[in-house]
Amino acid sequence: MATIAMSGPAEVSTSKPWYRILYVQVLIAIVLGAVVGWLWPSLATNDWIKALGDGFIKLIKMVIAPIIFCTVVSGISHIQDASKVGRVGVKALVYFEIVSTFALILGLIVGNLFQIGHGLAAKPDAAAVANYVKQAQTQKSVDFVLNVIPDSVFGAFARGDILQVLLFAILFGFALMAMGERGARLRDVIDDSAHAVFGVISIVMKAAPVGAFGAMAFTIGKFGPAALGNLIGLIGLFYGTAALFVVLVLGLIARAMGFSIFKFIAYIKDELLIVLGTSSSESALPQLMEKLERLGCSKPVVGLVVPTGYSFNLDGTNIYMTLATLFIAQALGVDLTFGQQLTILVVAMLTSKGASGVTGAGFITLAATLTVVNPALVPGMAIVFSIDKFMSEVRALTNITGNGMAAVFVSWWEGELDYEKLHANLNKEIDPSDVETAITTG
């Protein structure tokens, strides 16, 4: 990725009209989508309306594989010390496991304190759940490990499999590093390619309001406000727990590094609103990586931590699994022992790995968790199936916030966090509103 040049606040003092600011456009689109879905559900559930949201996600996923490949290869190949890559990887994994454990424990504590599953009733849709259960039962640990290795490099890129592309990119980066000066020309080509792909993203992001409108209109039109029914308590509890995790756990981590979590959230508001509209944290991955570099994070750290975090650092998914498991057990009248609840922590930690930010992945991992903890709970998945869509947004929002913080923390741990850039961006001395500005100055 080309180096992003910034001379100071004076160069970006020009303010845009409010209607040209991306997050304002996305926010308006989300509200309009909700109104259309509520007032004209038959129109909102039209295949073409649904295609607006699906099409935008496909446009973003189209560039994820090349972005990950270019950023990871560029980050590794520019490092002179090969041991640094391993050091950054170990630090990232340590951070992921510690923070994920806090997310799981928080979900268990809240689920036990507020036992809203007791007395709730719902009409299970067993047929709809069966597909997710089948996928979960076919996912074994050994299959996950083997699936990291692609059958072919081109196949990994064609499928957009993040872990497979990441593995090849790491190997290619090390090979390019070993070439020394002979690989300089190829490194420049990869850097320029990343620059061009970010140019594609700046074009695609102009369609974000359209995608958010379509996704939100279809969701509200299909499920409607009444679909929440007596399950509104679970949704509210999950939202509150996710917010508590961000403010308390991630907030303390941010405070330890000398900044406010609220300023960080404000900095990535564009990405959060895109995720809110599409229910997929992957939809904002490329733009998040670029903005983290502008924030002062080390380029190699961003290139390694963020893509890895999308498979190994799913805080929102972890909270969802512990809360939903306890909710289902309470609704079915199944008493889980302290030992079984500890089992949830271990199993959920394993089953959440490899779950991407795509809508529905959290439900599949829930099926895998319930199957191991207590098979009697599996039929109860149908109870939460109808509202899973309403919780997937918060899973994705929490996941992307957690991954952004992971990159900042590991950069700080490595001693490579540029505090001048960090505070300039968080204090809005530099305009972070879109990717295009950074691309044209690179």
- pLDDT tens digit sequence for 379-412: 777 667 656 666 777 888 898 899 999 999 999 9
Instruction: Decide if 255 is inside a domain.
Output: yes
Question: What would the mean pLDDT of 341-360 be, rounded to a whole number?
Answer: 64
Lowest mean per-residue pLDDT among 12-26, 87-101, 160-174, 336-350: 12-26
SS3 115: coil
pLDDT above 60: residue 139:
no
Tens-place pLDDT, residues 161-191: 766 887 888 888 888 888 877 888 888 888 8
Instruction: Decide if 2 is inside a domain.
Output: no
* Alpha helix ranges (H) inside 114-183: 126-138, 141-147, 153-159, 162-178
- Angstrom distance (rounded) from CA 437 to CA 403: 23
Tens-place pLDDT, residues 404-417: 999 999 999 988 88
Collect all residues with Cβ–Cβ distance below 8 Å to 55 and sequence separation of at least 6: 211, 214
Instruction: Decide if 3 is inside a domain.
Output: no
Instruction: Decide if 1 is inside a domain.
Output: no
Total number of domains constituting the chain: 1
SS3 434: coil
Most confident of the following: 50-59, 143-152, 231-240, 294-303: 294-303
Query: Could you give the percent of the chain with pLDDT greater than 70?
Result: 73
Which pLDDT does position 88 carry in this prediction? 84
Which pLDDT does position 182 carry in this prediction? 82
Q: Which domain holds residue 178?
A: 9-441
Position with higher pLDDT, 442 vs 38: 38
**Rounded-to-10 torsion of CA 40, 41, 43, 47:** 160
pTM above 0.75, yes or no: no
Half-sphere exposure of 15 (CA within 13 A, CB side): 5
Position with higher pLDDT, 383 vs 11: 383
- Angstrom distance (rounded) from CA 95 to CA 296: 19
CATH number for the domain including 220? 1.10.3860.10
Would you list the DSSP string of 172-240? Answer: HHHHHHHTGGGGHHHHHHHHHHHHHHHHHHHHHGGGHHHHHHHHHHHHHHHHTGGGGGGGHHHHHHHHH
Q: Which two tokens stand for residue 193?
A: 């390619």
Instruction: Decide if 4 is inside a domain.
Output: no
In 3D space, the residue among 316, 288, 313 whose CA is nearest the CA of residue 302 turns out to be 288
